[in-house]
Structure 1
Amino acid sequence: MSEESNAGEDDKSPSTLAAAGTSRRFTLAEVQLATDNFTDGVVIGQGGFGKVYKGFMVVDGKSVEVAIKRLNPRSRQGAREFLTEIEMLSRFRHRYLVSLIGYCDEPDEMILVYDYMPRGTLADHLHKSGKNLREPLPWSRRLWICICAARGLDYLHTGTSVQPDRAIHRDVKSSNILLDDNWDAKISDFGLSRLGPEDQAYSHVSTEIKGTFGYVDPEYSLTRRLTRKSDVYAFGVVMLEALCRRPAVDLSADEEQLVLAGWLEDCITEGRVEQIIDPNLREEIKPECLTEFVQIANQCLHYRSKKRPTMSVSSLHWHCKTERILQ
């Protein structure tokens, strides 16, 4: 495929992008009512993109609990990501992808309205500290969250008979995996996503490097060739986070443990894989289960993209072995 171009992107309107989907266009007044005029008292998240608010909105005649992301209107990059998010989540609907209910695109406002995920993100449960410290997730729950995320990515990468499009997420990480009441995981944040070619083994999209340090596929970093296997690499890092309860990059750690993926490689080479396990899990994971989980993660993290499994293979592999792994 040809080199990425932004030509024409700014000509797209959210109304046009969402027309083929089921996302609703909300007025600013509706959003202000739901957030008590964006009061800080209902803020549930914050980042460089802006703030996320919790509120209630009327959808199909019912009051629905929602998460409302208000993007920084001064960011040109944010505007492109806003349009991409609407396009992707209007096009792709799946049990393990976050649901976009609607958006607001009035002057100087870029607002996205999602289903509210009451249990936060996987990163919250793995890495929050201090007063926000949460009880460690049991191994069975961590594994289920990874399986859900794998199935969501598999859907993005392969499509279905009624949804032939394919996509590459490009920013898979633990903070982009949301958790509902039942601990089902849902992939979120599609602002960097790209539609991809049908042949997921070899075809690529040539594009500028985007993503989060610690999760970015090293082959993509060198070649600028983005493939679905770039998502597979990032997913392998998420698997390690779930196992180790350490962030992808830990600036407070020793040099050996600074980058999680590199630490795993060293531990496998030196035969000390058990050292990377979250101490809270040492009595929960049987040796054969640990071996199998680490093997899959290591395959996902192979430095050559063609040596990594597809998400289809990983999802099926895990689906068939879940009951045995959890025993």
Structure 2
Amino acid sequence: MATRCCRLSLCWWPAHFKSSMFEPDDIEKGSRDGDGDGDGVGFTEFSLDELRAATEGFSPDHIVSEHGQKAPNVVYLGRFFPADRDVAIKRFNKFAWPDARQFLEEAKAVGKLRSERLANLIGCCCEGDERLLVAEFMPHQTLAKHLFHWDTHSLSWAMRIRVALYLAQALEYCSTRGRALYHDLNAYRVLFDQNGNPRLSCFGLMKNSRDGKSYSTNLAFTPPEYLRTGRVIPESVVYSFGTLLLDLLSGKHIPPSHALDLIRGKNFRTLMDSCLEGHFSNADGAELVRLASRCLQYEPRDRPIIKSLVTSLGSLEKDAEVPSYTLMGIMNGSANSKQTLKLSHLGEACARMDLAAIHEILEKVGYKDDEGLANDLSFQVWTSQIQETLNSKKHGDNAFVAKDFATAIECYTQFIDMGTMISPTVLARRSVSYLMNGMVQEALEDAMQAQVVFPDWPTAYHLQATALLSLGMDSDAHDMIKTGTRLESKRSNRN
């Protein structure tokens, strides 16, 4: 393993592909809320030639439907080689985003978001008049397809509740990170990943540009305040969420005014999708109707906040442990795996490149894993050099805890260069500090060295995975996560 990792350090792999999305074939996510937070490590500015190659010259054969109709801004399926990873590439018309700096600022801001509830933005391109966004590709199409144009069976009640809940969680996540506005929220913006989990498209998080209005031309579904002022406010997003709840209830795209008339007349049977009959309790159905009507209130101040919607919808999810692919009736993305491994908190944080969580975990663990590995100072002659070495480590630890990563790198480097003592934890902490400063290759080398010092240390493998993901080397990252997780499992069994 060590020999293989040394080969990887040459980094011959094209560094332009840096998808933050990690979907290992035989690993089960350790949590379901997906509140990963990113530092933009996985965001890349692509060249137009790279995106042209990924779409075979923007071939019409690569066009995928985003809104179910011909739109001025086209979404393509792209594939990067040799990474063999599919992406969604949105190409704006030439009149969109005339200000290149505004486009880049918006793209980078949205690119900092990282959540399992989003189809995350992983890059952009801004050359000449060209403006393109690159996001994770979701292979199981849109909510509109599964609600309005299904072929064999409609969405189950349990899956519709999950869609509503995950969508609310996505909006809450964005809101807590300063992106409360979402433009033209509709059933075409909700996508399904390889495991059938619903995700919200990141494209609607970009602030409105000159290419079109924030909402479609169908005024029946437009928030009243937008019709009055032309401005989107957080309450407008709640209104649009209410229209999506109507879609989920009815299986049709019913105008809110008509739906509210049915609700006021207690004509629920006409409102509800006949495919759902007998598959939910009256209490659960009434609660979802109540939530939809509250979201669709005319006055913005009368609508609920997203956080309360998450709470209410969470109480309706009765099959939380059933995988989405089972509820969807599709093949699991990891169906070919021989074994399912449960990620630890560190493994999960590394898999989703959540640097803040990685830092917090390593800080709490401290030097516990160094026990029995550090040099026994009782057999050494105490010298001023040893004292200086320990002081460098202490100053590095203080800086690491204070999130002063530049100082941490400097102090830990002094400790390592003195060569008096060896500490895999220092290497791990400097690796994380390098990642925080965008020095991915250096981070990988430290994690590899930590593995050499301590071959059975899961942390060394997990940190390598994070660095490899940042370099676009997803397959190698997958191997590292598997190895680290299995080592953790062995430790657990021994204890």
TM-score interval w.r.t. the shorter chain? 0.7 to 0.9
Judge conservation of contact 2:79–2:86 (CA < 8 Å) in 1.
yes
Encode CA deviations 1:71-91: one digit per residue, 9 max, x unaligned: 222445797995575144223
Residue in structure 2 matched with residue 176 of structure 1 by the alignment: 189
Q: What does residue range 237-252 of structure 1 map to in structure 2 within 5 Å?
A: 237-248=243-254
Task: Tell me the distance in 1 between the aligned counterparts of 2:271 and 2:102.
Answer: 36
Report the secondary structure of 1:105's partner residue: strand
Query: Is residue 2:214 matched to residue 1:210?
Result: yes
Q: Please identify which structure carries the higher strand content.
A: 1
Retained in 1: the 8 A contact 2:165–2:310?
yes
TM-superposed CA distance for 1:182, in Å, is: 2.3
Q: Note if 1:297 corresponds to 2:316.
A: no
Q: Secondary structure at the match of 1:167?
A: coil
Q: Which residue among 81, 100, 103 is the counterpart of 2:124?
A: 103
Residue 121 of structure 1 is matched in structure 2 by 142
**Cα distance in 2, alignment partners of residues 182 and 238 from structure 1:** 22
Judging changes above 3 Å, is the alpha-carbon distance between structure 1 residues 39 and 223 closer, same or farther for their aligned structure 2 residues? closer
Q: 2:191 touches 2:198 (CA, 8 Å); kept in 1?
A: yes
User: Structure 1, residues 133-165: CA drift from partner, whole Å, max 9, x if none?
Assistant: 463111111111111110011112233xxxxx3
Unaligned runs of 5+ in 2: 1-38, 322-495
Q: Deviations over 1:303-326 (max 9, x none)?
A: 121121100000012113322899
Q: Is 1:37 matched up with 2:61? A: no
* CA distance in structure 1 between the partners assigned to 2:305 and 2:124 by the alignment: 33
Structure 1 contact 128–134 (Cα < 8 Å) conserved:
no
Report the counterpart of residue 26 of structure 1 in structure 2: 46
Measured at CA, do residues 80 and 278 of structure 1 come closer, stay the same or move farther in structure 2, by a change above 3 Å?
farther
- What letter matches 2:86 in structure 1? E
CA gap of 1:166–1:140, structure 2 versus 1, over 3 A, is same
Determine which of 157, 166, 171 is the counterpart of 1:139: 157
For 2:213 and 2:95, locate their aligned partners in 1 and report how far apart those are by CA, in whole Å: 22
Does 24-33 or 68-77 show the bigger shift? 68-77
Select between 40-49 and 266-275 the one with higher mean Cα deviation. Answer: 40-49
How far residue 238 of structure 1 moved from its aligned partner, in angstroms, is 0.3
Residue among 238, 261, 276 paired with 1:281: 276
Cα displacement string for residues 174-196 of structure 1 (whole angstroms, at most 9, x for unaligned residues): 111111122222222226537xx
Equivalent residue, structure 2, for 1:190? 204
Is this contact kept in 2: 1:84–1:190, CA < 8 A? no
Deviation at 1:51, TM superposition (A): 2.5
Distance (Å, rounded) in 2 between the aligned partners of 1:82 and 1:143: 35
Structure 2 vs 1, CA of residues 37 and 310 (structure 1 numbering), >3 Å: closer, same or farther?
same
1:74/1:63 CA distance change after superposition, 3 Å: same
Asked if the contact 1:125–1:134 (Cα under 8 Å) also holds between the matched residues in 2, the reply is no
1:148 aligns with 2:162: no
| Counterparts of 2:104 and 2:48, CA distance in 1 | 17
Give the equivalent residue in structure 2 for 1:6.
none
**What is the CA–CA distance in structure 2 between the aligned matches of 1:122 and 1:316, rounded to whole Å?**
22
Does the 8 Å contact 2:161/2:313 carry over to 1?
A: no
Shift of 1:224: 5.0
Q: Report the CA distance between 1:247 and its aligned residue.
A: 1.7
SS at match of 2:86: strand
Query: What is the TM-score normalised by the length of structure 1?
Result: 0.74
Aligned residues: 273
- For normalisation by structure 2, the TM-score amounts to 0.50
Find the counterpart in structure 1 of residue 337 from structure 2.
Answer: none
Residue identity opposite 1:62 in structure 2: A
Say which is worse superposed, 212-221 or 136-145, in terms of deviation. Answer: 212-221
Q: Which has the higher contact order (CA 8 A, sep 6+)?
A: 2
Q: Name the CA distance, whole Å, in 2 between partners of 1:69 and 1:219.
A: 29
Letter in 1 for 2:162: W
Query: Cα 1:117–1:85, aligned 2, differ >3 Å: closer, same or farther?
Result: farther
Native 8 Å contact 1:85 1:190 kept in 2 = no
Equivalent position of 2:71 in the other structure: 48
Q: 1:27 Cα shift?
A: 1.6
Aligned pair partner of 2:265 in 270, 282, 296? 270
Q: Go from structure 1 to structure 2 and tell me whether the alpha carbon gap of 1:50 and 1:291 turns closer, same or farther (over 3 Å shift).
A: same
Mark the CA change 1:305 to 1:24 in structure 2 (over 3 Å): closer, same or farther. same
- Give the 3-state SS of the residue equivalent to 2:165 in structure 1: helix
How much has 1:48 moved relative to structure 2? Answer: 2.1
1: CA distance, partners of 2:250 / 2:107: 34
Q: Deviations over 1:250-285 (max 9, x none)?
A: xxxxxxxxx2x1122111222211211111111222
What is the letter of the counterpart of residue 211 of structure 1? Y
Give the 3-state SS of the residue equivalent to 1:322 in structure 2: coil
Identity of aligned residues (%): 28
Matching residue's letter, 2:238: V
Larger radius of gyration: 2
